[in-house]
């Protein structure tokens, strides 16, 4: 069944229909309409399986997709136009163009944390470039997968886009198939396995991973605003966000005030008992829940939260201080609602600590002296980041989203997604009856002198 599904996509791609501009635009517009019609069903499935509040689901799963479709459809024809390249001495009689062509059949592997957004945002990029696609959902989200499959079938013809959930592919047979590009969102550990498999067929990959995303609260920061923004960025979706602040460095002179404001922000956002309120998500699957519970060791100094409800996969918004540097919370990506807060004295030592680790997907710096805060941020290697905010770099329209090093490879969103799933093909068109005799034998001395004069000019 897996092989047949991929072959159906390859056969549909071979017809050339998917690369027609009217087909691309109409498919995206139909997706916009159908998603609005299916939104309530998908929100209900997200609430059932992930405990997502409806507002949070709309904000993080749907709003970004609607805006992306609107942005891409408004600019796609312009992006897809052949790009003319200036003439050079060897193409002086020809016309050189760069033509964006689709790659073929794309595989999109979707995690559990934002299953709607992380299925459809890459799909928009793939379809806008003229590809066909297979979406691979997690087997732990049967209701969400079922609703998304219905959405896909409403919008796309068989073979244009197909959806498979993990229960249909228990042995990862999909990865044994031949694709023209793979986009994977998930952990660095799994990404290395996918890259290993893709290397056998030289299949290009686009990896959206994560990492130890630092947040730094400088001595002059507005601690009230910083605490609220960090609390939101960390605990939205119960911390299961690849760009969430993983841990916070706060200057020792404002550490006490920051911690009080952080606890106050959590109470304001989620109430005295988040488990009873309608504003806080649950952990996506049992494996991640068990992993997070193991991180909450007895020796931790928890100043907020720590409550666990196993039957709901609930972990309260949790803040830890005085965390030992060798503790797993400071070694591996947390990807959950546990926030270590570390005091510091010297900002240069903090920067050195961060730079000594693998490059994270995001970095955040808070300070009222914006120029200095920006200077600190630019000394921190990361996929993206914010000064005096969190998460917003992901939703910045017209900007690329992607990691670097262990936090990812390649980027997408908007034009960057269109380019990521396109091949930039150089095509030179020469007149049929004109020749550039400069290039042909016999190689007379005057030709060499002229070429050297033209091609070896001194730099200014």
418: tokens are 């269109």
DSSP string, 355-410: HTSPPPSEEEEE-SSHHHHHHHHHTS--SEEEES-SSGGGS-TTS-EE--GGGEE-
Mapped onto helix, strand or coil, the DSSP state of residue 316 is coil
End-to-end CA distance of the chain: 62
Catalytic residue, candidates 208, 333, 343, 419: 208
Query: Are the CB atoms for 59 and 241 separated by under 8 Å?
Result: no
> What's the CA gap between 221 and 19, in Å, rounded?
50
Pairing assessment for the beta strands 362-366 and 338-344 based on DSSP bridges: unpaired
Q: Which of 92, 83, 98, 85 is nearest to 455 (CA)?
A: 92
Asked about 293 being catalytic, the answer comes back as no
The per-type count for the chain, helices as H runs and strands as E runs, is 14, 20
188: tokens are 């660095």
Provide the β-strand partners of residue 430.
none
Pairing assessment for the beta strands 105-109 and 132-137 based on DSSP bridges: parallel
Asked about 61 being catalytic, the answer comes back as no
Sort 37 into a burial class: Cβ within 10 Å, 0-12 / 13-18 / 19+: exposed
170: tokens are 């228990």
Long-range contacts of 78-85 (CB under 8 A, 24+ apart): 79/415, 79/418, 79/419, 80/21, 80/418, 82/427, 85/426
Sign of the torsion formed by the C-alpha atoms of 144, 148, 149 and 150:
positive
Catalytic residue, candidates 56, 242, 261, 386: 242
Phi and psi at residue 402, in whole multiples of 5°? Answer: 180, 170
| Residues labelled as active-site residues | 208, 242
């Amino acid at each position: 069944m897996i092989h047949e599904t991929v072959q159906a996509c390859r056969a549909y791609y071979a017809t050339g229909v998917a690369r027609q501009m009217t087909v691309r635009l109409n498919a995206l517009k139909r997706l916009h309409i159908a998603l609005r019609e299916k939104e309530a069903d998908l929100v209900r499935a997200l609430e059932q399986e992930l405990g997502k509040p409806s507002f949070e689901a709309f904000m993080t799963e749907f709003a970004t997709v609607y805006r992306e479709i609107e942005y891409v459809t408004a600019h796609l024809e312009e992006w897809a136009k052949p790009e003319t390249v200036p003439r050079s001495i060897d193409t002086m009689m020809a016309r050189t163009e760069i033509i964006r062509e689709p790659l073929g059949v794309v595989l999109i592997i979707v995690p559990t944390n934002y299953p709607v957004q992380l299925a459809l945002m890459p799909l928009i990029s793939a379809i806008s470039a003229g590809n066909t696609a297979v979406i691979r959902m997690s087997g732990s989200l049967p209701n969400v997968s079922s609703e998304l499959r219905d959405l896909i079938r409403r919008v796309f013809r068989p073979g244009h886009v197909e959806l498979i959930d993990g229960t249909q592919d228990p042995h990862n047979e999909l990865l044994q198939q031949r694709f023209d590009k793979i986009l994977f969102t998930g952990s660095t550990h799994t990404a290395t396995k996918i890259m290993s498999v893709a290397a056998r067929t030289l299949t290009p990959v686009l990896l959206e991973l994560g990492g130890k995303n630092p947040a730094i609260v400088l001595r002059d920061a507005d601690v009230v605003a910083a605490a609220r923004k960090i609390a939101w960025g960390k605990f939205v979706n119960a911390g299961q966000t690849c760009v969430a602040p993983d841990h916070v460095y706060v200057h020792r002179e404002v550490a006490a005030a920051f911690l009080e404001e952080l606890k106050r922000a959590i109470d304001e956002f989620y109430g005295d008992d988040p488990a009873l309120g309608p504003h806080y998500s649950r952990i996506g699957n049992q494996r991640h829940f068990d992993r997070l519970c193991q991180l909450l060791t007895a020796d931790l100094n928890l100043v907020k939260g720590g409550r666990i409800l196993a039957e709901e996969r609930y972990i309260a918004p949790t803040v830890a201080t005085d965390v030992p540097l060798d503790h797993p919370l400071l070694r591996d990506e947390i990807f959950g609602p546990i926030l270590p807060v570390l005091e510091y004295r010297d900002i240069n030592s903090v920067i050195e600590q961060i730079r000594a680790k693998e490059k994270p997907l995001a970095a955040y710096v808070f300070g009222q002296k914006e120029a200095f805060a920006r200077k600190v941020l630019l000394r921190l290697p990361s996929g993206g980041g914010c000064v005096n905010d969190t998460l917003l770099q992901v939703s910045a329209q017209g900007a690329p989203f992607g990691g670097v090093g262990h936090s990812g490879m390649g980027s997408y969103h908007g034009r960057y997604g269109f380019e990521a799933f396109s091949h930039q093909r150089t095509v030179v068109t020469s007149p049929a009856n004109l020749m550039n005799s400069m290039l042909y034998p016999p190689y007379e001395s005057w030709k060499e002198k002229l070429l050297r004069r033209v091609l070896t000019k001194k730099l200014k």
